Amino acid sequence: MPHEEEIPSEELQRLVDLAGDGEQSLIIGTDANAHHTLWGSTDINDRGESLFNYIIQSRLSVANRGEEPTYVGPTSRNVLDITLFTEDNVQVIEWKVLNEPSFSDYKYISFQIDSQYLKSRKVVRNPKQTNWDLYRKILKQRLKKITTIDSYVDLEARLDQLTRALTIAYHIACPPMRKKRRSQPPWWNKELGSKRRYVREIFKLAQLAESEVIWEEYRDILKQYKKDIRNAKRRIFAQV
């Protein structure tokens, strides 16, 4: 995400939109060139605030933990690299900055995901239906419980508390909805349904009769049925 471009970038927004609500899993590694304490930066700038607002309104979560700099240059050190993931179907169980030489100003980042983690995709959240008044009210209440930072050790703990507060407020203000699934693909129709039943009837008859003539008839009908399916798909996709 170059300095000269607005943030969030159009590329990031297109990628999230393309994945849809719960349809695809995403893990995004980005040099955001943005500062925010949510991902471990020492300060918050305008770019960081803009990206932060986009993240909390999307289905993305930040995997970054701690404040170890991801960028170490000749004049500055900061956390500029962010790992984002879709919280509804990806679970990041470990994230850290490695100390081994990368031969670059940017350090290696290591993270692990739980391959066994699979949340039902029947339930999704629609950010557009978020009750933002309720969100602000809940967040304000939870932020009161976060005490001041007295030491370096407290910093990561407070960051985790802030992340949990943001997540809980969003989940309450934007409750999950049960997603309607298509019972049939978009190219399916009643005519194909009738033909499928007929193909099945001829197949059962061929099994019972053990007649080569009926088997030949079944193969011809099946061939035509598959052709009709291909044509139906072409008609639908031609309209897209």
What is the reported pLDDT for 178?
56
Give 23-42 pLDDT, tens digit per residue: 678 899 999 999 998 898 88
Give 122-137 pLDDT, tens digit per residue: 557 788 888 898 888 8
* pTM, entire model: 0.50
pLDDT beyond 90 at 91: no
Taking residues 117-125, what's their average pLDDT? 57
What is the reported pLDDT for 97?
93
pLDDT beyond 70 at 225: yes
What is the reported pLDDT for 120?
46
What is the reported pLDDT for 239?
60
pLDDT beyond 80 at 207: no
Taking residues 102-128, what's their average pLDDT? 74
Give 147-203 pLDDT, tens digit per residue: 777 777 778 778 888 888 888 888 878 877 655 555 567 778 888 888 888 888 888
What is the reported pLDDT for 108?
92
What is the reported pLDDT for 161?
82
Name the average pLDDT for the chain: 82
- CB-CB neighbours of 216 under 10 Å: 11
Distances (CA, A) of 111 to 18, 86, 95, 226: 24, 15, 4, 45
